[in-house]
Structure 1
Amino acid sequence: MRIVAADVVVTSPGRNFVTLKLTTDEGLTGLGDATLNGREQAVVAYLREHVVPLLLGTDPHRIEDTWQSLYRGAYWRRGPVTMAAIAAVDVALWDLKAKVAGLPLYQLLGGASRERVRTYGHANGRDVPELLDSVRARRAEGYQAVRVQTGVPGLQTVYGVHTGEAIARPTHRALPLVEDWDTPAYLRHLPTVLEAVRHEFGPELPLLHDAHHRLTPVQAAKLGKDVERYDLFWLEDCTPAENQEGFRTVRRHTTTPLAVGEVFNAVVDYQTLITEQLIDYARSAVTHFGGISPLKKLFDFAAMYQVKSAVHGPEDISPVGTAAAIHLDLAIHNFGIQEYSGHTDLTNEVFRHAYTFTDGHLHPGDAPGIGVEFDEELAAAHPYEAAYLPVNRLADGTVHDW
C-alpha cells in the first residue's frame, strides 16, 4: 500500500478548519486536523509546500518512521506550525491503519480502559446572575463538570465571556478585537464569583477556572491559595507556561490542582512540570502536539508522576481532532477529563462523526478508523475567511497576555 494523494482543504463552516486527506492506491482515505486558530494559512503552506511532497509514494503503515522523519528531518523542530502539520499526518495515518484493520482507532491503542469519557463544558456570564444561568444551561445539556468564567467589574470585554454562540471565536474583521484587563480587579473578584457558584450549586459540582496565562507566579500563588476553600477541580493556565520554574512558586503556596499545556507542542515543554510534580493535568491537544503518537507517549510519561490527561478541546479544533482525542482518552490509563465545547450543526455536517455525547460523556463509536467522514462538496461551499483572535491590553495600553 502506498500514499498516492495528499490534499489540504481549508473550510469555514462558521470558523476556519484545516484538513489533510491522505489517499492510498487501494482507495482508502485518512483524515487529519491541522487547524491553528488565526494562523491557518501558515500550516496550509507548510503542508502543501514542504510535507505533501515527502508523503507521496510512502508506506502509510510506517507511522513512527514518518513522524520522526518529519520532526527530525526538517532540522527546525517544534513550534505550533510544524507540530500542527505533523499532527495532521500522524492522525491521518492512524485513521488509515485502523481502517485497514477494520477497527475503531482506540482498539489499536490498547483497547478501552473505560466505558466512556468524562467531559466538562463552558459556562460564562457578564455578571454573576448570567453566569449562574449559564451553569444551569450546561447542566441541562448533561455536563457534570463546568468551567466558569465571568466578567470583571470595570472591564468591557474579558476572555471566556461572550454574547454569541462561541467562546473565543475569531473575529472576522480587518484588525483583532481588543480586550481589556486589570489583574488586581480580577484577583479581588474571582473568589466572590466562586463563592456564589458554590452557594447555588453546592460542593459536589466539579468547577474549573481558566486564568489564561495572565498572572505572575506570585499572583497565581495568591489566587490558588485564596480559592482553596471553593475546592476547584483545577486552576488552568495560572501563569505563562513557558516559565516552567514559575510553577514551583505556585505549588509551594497552594493545594489547588493545576492544569497547563494547551500552548505546548513538545514533551520538553513539560519536563520540569511533570518530573517535579508541579502540575496535576497535562492539557495539550492532539492537533497541536504532533498527533496521537507523541501525545500518548507524553501521557505514559506523565503517568509515572501521577499527572493525568486533560486534552484541549475548543471549538477551533475540528471534529477530526476531537475524534482523535476521544479515542486516545478511552484507551489511556491516566485519563483525567476531556474539554468539550461541541461544534455548530453546520460544522458537524461538514465533518460527520461517529462520536456521541450523552450525559456529559463522550464515546468515539465503533466505526473503523477515527470515525469521521469529510463532506468536501459542502466544505467547498464555505471557503476560508481571514480572522484574528483578540489581543489584550492593560488600561495604559500595554499589550498583555491573551
Structure 2
Amino acid sequence: MKIIDAGVIITAPGRNYVTLKITTEDGVVGWGDATLNGRELAVATYLRDHVCPLLIGRDAHRIEDIWQYLYKGSYWRRGPVQMTAIAAVDIALWDIKGKVAGLPVYQLLGGAARDGVMVYGHASGSSVAEMLDDVAAHLDEGYLAVRAQSAIPGMDKVYGVPPKDGRLYEPASSNVPQEETWETGPYLRFVPTMLGAVRERFGFDVHLLHDVHHRLSPLEAGRLGRDLEEHRMFWIEDPTPAEDQSAFQLIRQHTTTPIAVGEIFNSIWDCQQLITERLIDYVRTSVSHAGGITHLRRIFALADLYGVRTGSHGAGDLSPVSFAAALHVDLSVPNFGIQEYMGHRDPAGEVFRTGYKFENGYMHPGDAPGLGVEVDEQAAAKFPYDPKYLPINRRRDGSMHDW
C-alpha cells in the first residue's frame, strides 16, 4: 500500500500544533503529531523539506523499515527536531495500519493489558488555599491523582501556576521569551509545607505529584526528596537537569521519594543509564518527542526489565493526536504507571475530533480503527500560526538558570 502524499498542517486553535497528514493510494489517511513547543516551525520545515519527499512511493505497512530509514538514513541522528519529525511519521503510519485492519492501535500492540489508563491532572493556585481548592475540584471531577503546584511567597512567578487572567502559564510571549526570576532557597523551604497541607486536608488516598522542573542541583534534589518522604509522594518530577544521567546517583543516596524524569528526552540513549541503574522510578518520554510509538515501546520495554514504570508527558503542548497515541501505548504495555492529562482548550475541539474518554480517574482511547482522532483541515485553516516562546529563568543576580 503505497504512500502517495504527505503534507504538514500548522494551526493554532488555542496554541500551536503541527500535524502530519499521510495519504495512501487507497485513500487511507493517517495523522501524526509533530509539535515541538516553541520550536514548531523547525520541525515543520524538517518534515516538508527533508522527510515528506522521501515517503512518496514507500509501503505504508513497513513501519519499522521506514523508521530505520529516517533515523539511520539522515546520518545526523537524534535531537528533538529529528525525533519529533520521525515520531509524526510513525504515529501516522500506525494510524493507517489500524484503519486498514479495522482495529484500534492498541489491539495491534498486543491488546489491552488493563481496562483503563490512570491519569493525573494539574492543580495549582496563587496561594496554598487556592491550590487546595483546585485539588478538591479535581477530586470532585473523579481524578485519583493530582499534581500540586503553588505560588511561592516572595517570588513573582512560579512554574505551573497560571496567571489570574486565565491564560496559559506557558508559552508566555510572542516576540521574545518572557524572563522570570528564580531562587532555590525559598522554594526548598516552602514546598514541603505546601504539599503537607495537601496531605493534611485530603489524606493519603489521593496520589500526589509535584514538578520541580529541572531547577535543583542533585544535592538540593536529594534534600527535597528527603523532606517529602513523610508525605508519601507518587513522584517528584524532573528534580534536576538530566543531561548528566549519573547525577541521579547522588539523589538516590539521599532519598527514597520516587523520581520521574524524561519529558525532554528523545531517544532510548537519553535514559539508558537512568533505567539500567534504577536511578528513576518513572520514565516520562512522550510518544511525539521520542520517535513515535515504535521507539517509545523500545524505551518502555527496557524500563520494564528494570522495574521502571511509565509516566508519559501529556501536556497541552502536544496535540490530541499525540495524546490518543499515548493512550494506545499506555493501555498495552505491562509496566504502565500513570499518564499526564491536561486536556485541550477550545477551540482545539473544532480541529481535532477525538474518541477518547475520561471516567472515574481513568481514560480509554476508544475502539475506533486507528488512533481514533480525525483532523478537520478546513477548521485548522481558520487558526493561523501564532509565534510563541517558552519563558526563561534568571537568578536574582541576573545569571541564567534552568526554566
Taking the aligned partners of 1:147 and 1:52, their CA distance within structure 2 comes to 38
CA contact (8 A) 2:21 2:30 kept: yes
Contact 1:319 1:348 in 2 (8 A): no
Q: Provide the TM-score with structure 2 as the length reference.
A: 0.98
Shift of 1:165: 4.3
The secondary structure found in structure 2 opposite 1:287 is: coil
CA contact (8 A) 1:160 1:167 kept: no
For residues 313-350 of structure 1, what are the alpha-carbon distances to aligned partners after superposition, in whole Å with 9 as ceiling and x for unaligned? 00000000000000000011100000000011311221
Match in the other structure for 2:296: 295
The reply to whether residue 255 of structure 1 matches residue 256 of structure 2 is yes
Superposition deviation, residue 166 in structure 1: 5.6
Question: How do 1:141-220 and structure 2 match up within 5 A?
Answer: 141-163=141-163, 164-165=165-166, 167-220=168-221
Counterpart contact for 1:155–1:180, Cα < 8 Å: yes
**In 2, Cα distance between the equivalents of 1:242 and 1:266?**
12
Deviation at 1:62, TM superposition (A): 0.5
Following the alignment from structure 1 to structure 2, what is the Cα–Cα distance between the partners of residues 168 and 303?
34
Paired AA for residue 128 in structure 2: V
CA contact under 8 A between 1:283 and 1:309: conserved in structure 2?
yes
CA distance in 1, matches of 2:121, 2:376: 27
Q: Deviations over 1:291-310 (max 9, x none)?
A: 00010111111101000011
SS of 1:94's partner is helix
The corresponding residue for 2:309 is 308
Cα RMSD, aligned residues only? 0.9
Maintained 8 Å contact 1:122/1:146:
yes
Q: State the 1:193 CA deviation.
A: 0.3
Runs of 5+ unmatched residues, structure 1: none
Residue-pair matches, total: 402
Q: SS state of the match for residue 263, structure 2?
A: coil
Specify the code of the residue in structure 1 equivalent to 2:335: N
The CA deviation at 1:357 is 1.1
Written as runs of structure 1 = structure 2, the 5 A alignment for 1:79-158 is 79-158=79-158
Q: Where does residue 70 of structure 1 map in the other structure?
A: 70
Q: CA deviation at 1:47?
A: 0.2
**Corresponding letter in the other structure for 1:210:** D
User: 1:172–1:385: 8 Å Cα contact kept in structure 2?
Assistant: no
Gaps of 5+ in 2: none
1:179 is displaced (CA, Å) by 1.5
CA distance in 1, matches of 2:174, 2:302: 42
Q: How far 1:79 moved relative to its partner?
A: 0.4
Is the CA contact 2:233–2:257 (under 8 Å) kept in the aligned structure 1?
Answer: yes
The one-letter code sitting in structure 2 at the alignment partner of 1:336 is G
The Cα of 1:168 is off from its aligned counterpart by 3.6
Cα 1:32–1:366 change in 2 (3 A) is same
Post-superposition CA distance 1:219-256 (Å, at most 9, x none): 00011001100110001100101110010000011000
Q: Report the Cα distance in structure 2 between the residues aligned to 1:122 and 1:298, rounded to whole angstroms.
A: 25
- Conservation of the 8 A alpha-carbon contact between 2:174 and 2:386: no
Give identity over the alignment, percent: 58
Distance in 2, Cα, partners of 1:364 & 1:77:
31
Alignment of 1:193-342 (within 5 A): 193-342=194-343
Match of residue 385 from structure 1: 386
Deviating runs (4+, > 6 A) in structure 1? none
TM-score normalized with structure 1 length = 0.99
Q: 1:25 corresponds to which residue?
A: 25
Asked whether the equivalents of residues 173 and 390 of structure 2 are also in contact (C-alpha less than 8 Å), the reply is no
Q: Does 1:374 align with 2:371?
A: no
SS in 1 for 2:271: helix
Q: Cα gap change, 1:5/1:330 in structure 2, threshold over 3 Å: closer, same or farther?
A: same
SS in 2 for 1:286: coil
Which one-letter code corresponds to 1:71 in the other structure? Y
CA deviation after TM superposition for structure 1 residue 289, in Å: 0.2
**Secondary structure, aligned partner of 1:186:** helix
Give the Cα–Cα distance (whole angstroms) in 2 for the partners of residues 298 and 178 of structure 1.
34
